[in-house]
Structure 1
Amino acid sequence: MARENIDFGIDLGTTTSIIAVATADDATVVRNNRQAEYTPSAVYVSGSNKVLVGESAKGRLVEDHDNATAEFKLQMGKRDAHKHFKASGRSMSPEELSAEVLKSLRGDVQQAVRESIGAAVITVPAAFELDQCDATRKAAELAGLDFAPLIQEPSAAAWAYSTHLATDRGFWLVYDFGGGTFDAAIVKVADGEFSTINHAGDNFLGGKLIDWALVEGLLIPAARKEFPLPDLARGHRKSAGNIAKLKAAAEYAKIELSRADSAEINLRLNDADGTPVFDFDFELTRADVERVAMPLYQRSVTLCRKAVADAGLGGGDIERVLLVGGTTIAPALRELLADPAEGLGIPLDYSLDPVTVVARGAAIFAGTQRMPSRPERAEQALGEGKVVLNLKYPAAGSDTEPLVGGLPPRTAQQRDWTGSTIEFAHPDGTPPWRSGQIPLTPEGTFSTRLRADEHTVNTYDIELRDAQGTVTPTDPERISYRHTSKMGTAPTLSHSIGVALDNNEVLWLVRKGAELPATARAILYSTLTVRRNERTGLIRVPIVEGERSKADRNMLIGRLDIVPNQVDRDVPAGSEVEVTLKIDTSFTPRADAYVPLVDEEFQIQVELGRTGAGTDFGGAVEDLADRFTELADRLDALRFGDVHPGEAAELVDRFRADDVLADVRRLADAAAVDPDAASTCENRLRDAQAALDDVEAALVFPELVTSGRTAVAQTQELIADFGASRHRTALHNAERAMEAAIASQDRTVLKRQIDVVRDIIREVLRDSGQLAAVIFAGREPRLRDNPDPHVQELLQNGRRALDEGDVARLTAVNAQLERAAPDAVGHADASGGLGSTVRAGDL
């Protein structure tokens, strides 16, 4: 019998990958051909183009690094990222490399249970961006997994623990410190359901950073001191072989030091000609590892605290911390997390194996997910004379009496179902159970409740009888229902998605934490005229992903360009552009733009993939050096003295204390030969640029305070003359919130309250009939010298309407002026940010 549910879950990891299969009440890891529970995420390609995966490939990383690769997960989503295998001349993308790992896991299932699977749930870090999720789906397709729903790793871990913990209500913190990424997720448990309510993570914080810290901070200096290896460095191409040896030795020693106080590193390093001649011996201690790892551990604690605080909770609200990922085995990390002052001070739970828990949870989740319907199977069943049932019932749930309903079944010839019955039998139940014969309506419909044993998979045989009592074969012949005490709810979005505007700000459409699927719409306005005959102008709608206020600090994930030959008439500036964004439960986005003037819908090309950086994996390494120089210049320009705000000085001090510049410089140097360093460098650069944005924003905080208080005073005068009691109440509330923001130096809240006050001004002006006059008075001086005759005619009409007090006509004139001369409204042109030529409305 073909599987009714997916049942298989895969943890596609940075350093190791694991596949598990759902059982009646849990999940079991499928061992590989070496009888190991996990497979290293490593690929080797020989000169004859033979591909090896796993431990055998990882073993070649040291001696044949030109033809082996690992830790390519974080390159996922980069369009130009490829690994070139020297011996075979073959190049493979990160998706193709990941596909080889997935094929290996499929082969393990074939060998272990004699089953060729075409579907599996695959995990992704919660901090993964949409292009990385899309790349994971592509890897699954290349590996022969035609159906591969995604689940975030913290959610998978929660699924695993949900089958073991008796908690009925409370909060968990999933602490997932893997080989390449870190995730902190707040999980709420209530009423038989658990859901992720907040998340904080870092795609570039993982156990491999500890390995590199050991290599660069301890092993390289020791080797250079002992041997004539002046060029031994992560960023030097001729040192690649030696660096690979040191990296592998550091990783193995680190793992050993989770259980021992010291570990010996003994290896032979190559000379300048690549000949192994230098015997390098080094004793690495647990204290060494703890010293270099502690800053990384502390970064993870900071992210955990942020996740807890942003969820509106305190440490005392969290029942337990679920430890996930191999890094959490380290004793020093556990001690830090348990410390109430330096760590979290929340009870730690590592009752499930931190290394395999994500794969097991993915499999448990897979056991609740139906396999996709196959139309060809139904047609085959009809050809065999079977009745194809159309049943509606849950795949899993906490109900011990699940409801099953039947819609009209399909048969080769139409028939009347009067007198027919259907019966469900659960012979393996405790005790065995039968539903009894349930009459069908003439159309063949019915509904009934089944009886399910708890914490297991219940399988029900189906017996369909015609009016004479003869059993009729059906498809399906049986159905199953998994009873579980807790069910996960809908997945949530990890990063906000919005439209980049012409002023380099973002109009967010779907915010981080929104339940999926999600749909959002927004009305925007073009800022340039598209002239068909003159072939000039452009409507550009960029779609970005992230949280940063400046559009170009976020990830560009899609863009629509409407050019003159795509429209059948001119589209003047100020024309409406309605953008619709949809995101499904597997984090796949779709975006469309509708332009009412031409009555046409355009699909926004969401090309999920970013430009890479690095040599073997493609990209412009020089750009990283240029961006580093720009970053250094910005920091140098921010010279602080007593006259500068305390917050700005504190931000710069923190920036310097974290040694961000040195970190970025080191990564930029290494990027020439190390694609992983290039990816990390790009991320650190973007974070550093955003941090300096915050510094510059802090410098203008006093100006914001003055602007806000001035707006309040002006609004008070306006309300005294034209306002109502509701306006006074709204202003009083906004002023209180503004003063609280000033006291706490919260720029975000202060800016929001200034906008609220301005909205109150607009409302008072609108209610008093003065808004149109104010808008016209603001535009008229800027347009007085405009050479366009149409603009001058509109200005004359506006002046007459103003003199005559014709509010409706003046409102119409303002709208026409906005379309005819949008630059006068005060919006930026297309040269800023991401080249966007759309803006939000004025009101």
Structure 2
Amino acid sequence: MHRETVDFGIDLGTTNSAIAKAEAADAEVIRNNLQREFTPSAVHVRRGGNIVVGERARDRVESDPKNACSEFKIQMGTRGNHKTFEDSGVAMTPEELSAEVLKSLRGDVERSTGERIEAAVITVPAAFSLDQCDATRRAAGLAGLEFAPLLQEPTAAAWAYSVRDAPSKAFWLVYDFGGGTFDAAVVKIEDGEFTVVNHAGDNFLGGKLVDWALVEEHLIPVARRDFGLASMSRDNGRAAGNLAKLKAAAENAKIELSQAEAVDIELDLTGDSGEQVAFQCELTRADVERVTRPLVERSIGMCRTALAESRTKPSDIERVLLVGGMSQAPVLRAMLADPNEGLGIRIDHSLNPVTVVAQGAAIFAGTQRIPKSTKTKQATTPGLAALVLEFAAAGQDVDPLVGGRAHDDTVQDWTGYTVELDNLAFQPPWSSGKVALRPNGAFSTRLRAQENTRNTFTITLRDRQGTTVATDPPSLTYRHADLIGAAPTLSHSISIGLSDNSLLPLLGKGTELTARKRQSVFTTVAVNKNAGTGLIRVPLVSGERPRVDRNTVIGQLELRPGEVRRDVPAGSEVEVEVSVDTSFRATAEAYVPILDEEFEIDVDLARSTAPSLADLRADRFKLEQRYDDLRDRASDVEAPEARGLLDRFDSQDTLSDVDQLLRQAEVDPDATATCQVRLRDAHTVLDEVEERLELPQIVEEARATQSAAKEVVQQAGQAEHRTALRRAESEMEAAIKERDPVLIRRQADEVRSIAVRVLDETGRLPVVIFGALEQELADHPSAQVQRLLAEGRGAINDGAVHRLAAVNAKLRPFLPDLGAGLDLENQTSTVRGGDRR
């Protein structure tokens, strides 16, 4: 079957996956061979290597966990094999496991429609990082999907709801609580478009945590106390089979308890000595609510964050769209709707929360044209004309413009040919009439579309004699909609990592895609080609945490002495450019002006292997040491913000949470990844505590910078400099009033830059720089350094300030932190922001 648009949408979920097909104004979920609307995201590999996907595989996760696997979505983007299936010896990565699920969904389409699809839109959580998006693309390729645009899950949900009772102007909040991830997205509806203006999320908050909490807090204690299973523990690998059964039972009970008050769990478990144990336990809705509440509270906190960052209030939100299996829980809906405990916003669950993402993805897919391998003249079979069409696949126009050009190796002049487009479903049927082709085969006309549905226009090409000529494509599809989605936005900021462990932003979270940004940085290390010393390292970082080492490095430029044509002195400029497309695919390059060369930055989006348990334990020990030290420091000074952050650290029971994850990480790779994220988050909180404790010193340094800048501007500045300084001082005072250390430093740098600009324009800057270098290098043992210092002093005495710039450049490499003895291999970055000075 010929398709101009993608039409199929896939929700590749942690627990379950689904596929839907665009139909008319809506989308239809395609059922699997068991006539279910979703397929469990589970894989079982038999002894001979045959692969089973879906419900039978999920059952084997329970009965045979060594040869079956589920919930691998969380590990997407991690290097190394996630699962080795014991009986067959087959090892598979998360991408390969996900590819098997995608193959199964493709097979469902083929069984249902007879069509073998090669394109589909695939959804990803809004909280997914670029490396996880890249892994999803790789999975699609492994599954035979040659074209697989990515769509964020909250946006997909908005697409599904957009075809029903959508207001002309409003805000929505998409609340997506799935099996393994949580997303909260603020959607703005205006001028016939909806846009995700902000989101907050957690890739490790999902329904599986409820399942495990039921296992750990209810089922394991019963197994130990009443059935003698003393070894039952998540950190005991030998208990994996029993734990898999308990988790599956907990998940099923959780679903049943959405309707019932209590359920009985009856299982055959294996005792510590290998005997069969008939396990029995009752779970109640109250049990589920007890373990669910703290997770829902975390999700509501993220909703409030998303609202605050987008400068919206709960009263601004027209409705909350519920998405994900967990959103069916009664306790969740009650908490969310409560104005005190939750958000107090009207909840909309009119669409099935389990399949709504797949439906929305399919509706979006109906607006995405499948790209052709070539847009230029192409060889065709005799009697078949190729049409290259240009038109929007979706829009608000009822009379959209379509243009095209015909190609046929046997036709040199298309004069006398006509093309006719017919919308036979329109009432009455509509026709464009015969549109004459130009000599080069080009044509254009307007169509007539039925509102709020998909319109298919048959294409009839006729030669000079009026004989019909078959075309490729034979038809085109246009979807009219009153409300359509705007361009996607970037989920996580992309920045350049600097040598002081700070970040220089390139593309911020929420940037509309596609996006491209160029930024200059300057080297802190000289690269000497002949001596073989030095290194230019420019890391690219994804994330919102304020320090480089708390985020994810997604790419890195490294230039070593053997890779440059000439020496590159410290302070040399490097221009970094990053581009991100609408499917969150990132590319980057760097241009070094002094070399007049461009270098591709390797954007390696496969994350390194998860840290070892030893590394995690060492980091946990360091975290506790930092906490104790900061708590002692906070008790000795007037620092209410720091104490407040430490109190919140305590109330969240952070260290206990990490300890529990460390125990689970003995056997659960998901726990390892979660533990690493929790440790980073905890260190970030303590980073802020440190800054708050250093606030008085930061303010003092800012005041000193302000005083020095004032003196420079008063003595040598012009009116424009004085105006700029007053504005920068005002902004710095506001930052001090806000008690924001990061902002205070940033504004102090702005004040300093004004003074530097005055010194530069008056020719005094080289003298100031030389003075700083002289103070730093006065006792340096090198005879060359002393000769250079004498040369600089002589230049100042002679009034030959212009010679100082060259002297300063020669002195810089001798500074202690720029010398050849620096351990460059362990330094994150060798570039800084600012300017050449």
Shared fold (TM-score, shorter chain, > 0.5): yes
Aligned to 1:227: 227
Q: Does 1:347 align with 2:346?
A: yes
Q: Tell whether the 8 Å contact from 2:385 to 2:470 is kept in structure 1 after alignment.
A: yes
Aligned to 1:436: 433
Where do residues 126-165 of structure 1 align in structure 2 (5 Å cutoff)?
Answer: 126-165=126-165
Instruction: State which of 724, 728, 732 in structure 2 corresponds to 1:734.
Output: 728
Partner Cα separation in structure 2 for residue 483 and residue 94 of structure 1: 38
1:352-391 alignment runs, 5 A limit: 352-375=351-374, 379=378, 382-391=380-389
* CA deviation after TM superposition for structure 1 residue 69, in Å: 1.1
1:651 partner letter: L
The 1:793/1:188 distance shift into structure 2, 3 A limit, reads farther
Post-superposition Cα deviations, 1:797-816, rounded to whole Å, max 9, x if no partner, equal 54344345455444454455
**1:415 aligned to 392, 408, 412, which one?**
412
The aligned counterpart of 1:616 is none
- 1:822, CA displacement in angstroms? 6.3
Please list the CA deviations of residues 150-172 of structure 1 after superposition, one character each: whole Å capped at 9, or x if unmatched.
11101111111111132111211
Equivalence map 1:278-297=2 (5 Å): 279-297=278-296
C-alpha distance 490-353 of structure 1, shift in aligned 2 (>3 A): same
Aligned to 1:312, what secondary structure does the other structure show? Answer: coil
Check the 8 A contact 1:378/1:475 in 2, yes or no: no
Give 1:634's aligned amino acid: R
Q: Secondary structure at the match of 2:52?
A: strand
- Matched residue type, 1:332: V
Contact 2:214 / 2:291 at 8 angstroms: preserved in 1? yes
2:595 counterpart (586, 598, 603): 598
**Counterpart in 1 of 2:746?**
752
Residue 542, structure 1, aligned to residue 534, structure 2? no
Secondary structure of 1:144 counterpart: coil
Instruction: Tell me how far 1:368 sits from its aligned partner.
Output: 0.7
Hey, what does 2:830 align to over in structure 1?
837
Counterpart AA for 1:403: L
Distance, in Å, in 1 between the alignment partners of 2:703 and 2:165 is 53
1:603-628 alpha-carbon deviations (Å, 9 max, x no partner): 22222122333xxxxx5222211211
Q: Does 1:620 align with 2:603?
A: no
Answer with 806-815 or 519-528: which moved more: 806-815
Identity in percent: 55
The amino acid of 1:13's aligned partner reads G
- Distance between the aligned counterparts of 1:352 and 1:570, measured in 2? 64
**Alignment check: 8 A CA contact 1:504 1:550 kept:** yes
Mapping of residues 627-666 of structure 1, within 5 Å: 627-638=619-630, 639=632, 640-641=634-635, 643-666=637-660
**Cα 1:817/1:108, change in 2 over 3 Å:** same
Q: Does 1:487 align with 2:484?
A: yes
Residues 1:515 and 2:509 aligned together: no
Structure 2 unaligned spans of 5+: none
- Rounded to whole Å, the distance in 1 between the matches of 2:213 and 2:560 is 50
- How far apart in 2 are the matches of 1:299 and 1:833? 37
Structure 2: distance between partners of 1:16 and 1:72: 11
Counterparts in 2 of 1:541 and 1:289: CA distance versus 1, 3 Å:
same
**2: distance between equivalents of 1:797 and 1:487?**
68
Name the structure 1 match of 2:2: 2
Q: Is the 8 A contact 2:378 2:407 kept in 1?
A: no
Matching residue of 1:458? 455
1:588-616, CA deviations, whole angstroms, 9 ceiling, x for partnerless residues?
Answer: 11122233333333222222122333xxx
Relative to structure 1, the CA distance from residue 758 to residue 455 in structure 2 (aligned partners, 3 Å threshold; closer, same or farther) is same
Contact 1:542 1:558 in 2 (8 A): yes
Residues 1:181 and 1:91: Cα distance change in structure 2 (over 3 Å): same
CA shift in 2, pair 1:793/1:443, >3 Å: farther
Q: 1:679 and 1:836 mapped to 2: Cα distance?
A: 25
CA–CA distance in structure 2, aligned partners of residues 354 and 225 of structure 1? 38
| CA distance 1:805–1:176, change in 2 (3 Å) | farther
Q: Is the 8 A contact 1:734 1:757 kept in 2?
A: yes
Kindly indicate whether the alpha-carbon contact (under 8 Å) linking 2:140 and 2:148 is maintained by their aligned counterparts in 1.
Answer: yes
Q: Does the 8 A contact of 2:533 with 2:820 survive in 1?
A: no
* Aligned counterparts of 1:478 and 1:571: Cα–Cα separation in 2: 59
Shift of 1:251: 1.0
Secondary structure of the residue aligned to 1:609 is coil
Partner of 1:267: 267
Provide closer, same or farther for how the CA distance between residues 808 and 420 of structure 1 changes in structure 2, counting only shifts above 3 A.
Answer: farther
State the Cα distance separating 1:687 from its structure 2 match: 0.8
What does 1:77-226 correspond to in 2, within 5 Å?
A: 77-226=77-226
Comparing 118-127 with 758-767, greater Cα deviation is found at 758-767
| Structure 1 residue 417: Cα displacement | 3.4
Whether the 8 Å CA contact 1:179–1:326 is kept in 2: the answer is yes
- Partner of residue 782, structure 1: 776
2:793 corresponds to 1:799: yes
**Structure 1 residues 657-666 or 728-737, which shifts more?**
728-737
Decide whether aligned partners of structure 1 residues 113 and 468 sit closer, same or farther in structure 2, where only a CA change above 3 A counts: closer
Match of 2:31 in 1: 31
Q: CA deviation at 1:94?
A: 0.9
Q: TM-score of the superposition, structure 2-length normalised?
A: 0.95
- Residues 45 and 52 of structure 1 are in contact (CA less than 8 Å); yes or no, is this contact kept in structure 2? yes
2:241 corresponds in structure 1 to 241
Letter of the aligned partner of 1:455 in structure 2? N
**SS at 2:574 equivalent:** strand
Distance 2:381 2:503 in 1: 56
1:687-746 CA-partner distances (Å, limit 9, x unpaired): 111111111111111212222233333334443333344444434433443333333323
1:687 pairs with 2:681: yes
In the alignment, residue 835 of structure 1 is paired with which amino acid?
T
Q: 1:699 — aligned with what?
A: 693
User: SS at the partner of 2:500?
Assistant: coil
Amino acid in the other structure paired with 2:833: A
- Distance in 1 (CA, whole Å) between partners of 2:646 and 2:369 is 52
Question: Contact conserved, 2:721 with 2:754, CA < 8 A, in 1?
Answer: yes
In the TM superposition, what whole-angstrom CA distance separates every residue of 1:321-370 from its partner, at most 9, and x where no partner exists?
A: 11111111111111111122221122111111111110000011111111
Instruction: Say if 1:266 and 1:472 are closer, same or farther in 2 by CA, change over 3 A.
Output: closer
Distance apart, 1:476 and its partner CA: 2.3
Residues 368, 393 of structure 2: 8 Å contact kept: yes
Alpha-carbon RMSD: 2.5
CA displacement, residues 378-413 of structure 1 (integer Å, 9 cap, x when unaligned): 856x22233322221111111101011234x32214
Q: Secondary structure at the match of 1:18?
A: strand
* Counterpart-to-counterpart distance in 2, 1:766 and 1:570: 26
Kindly provide the amino acid, as one letter, of the partner of residue 79 in structure 1.
R
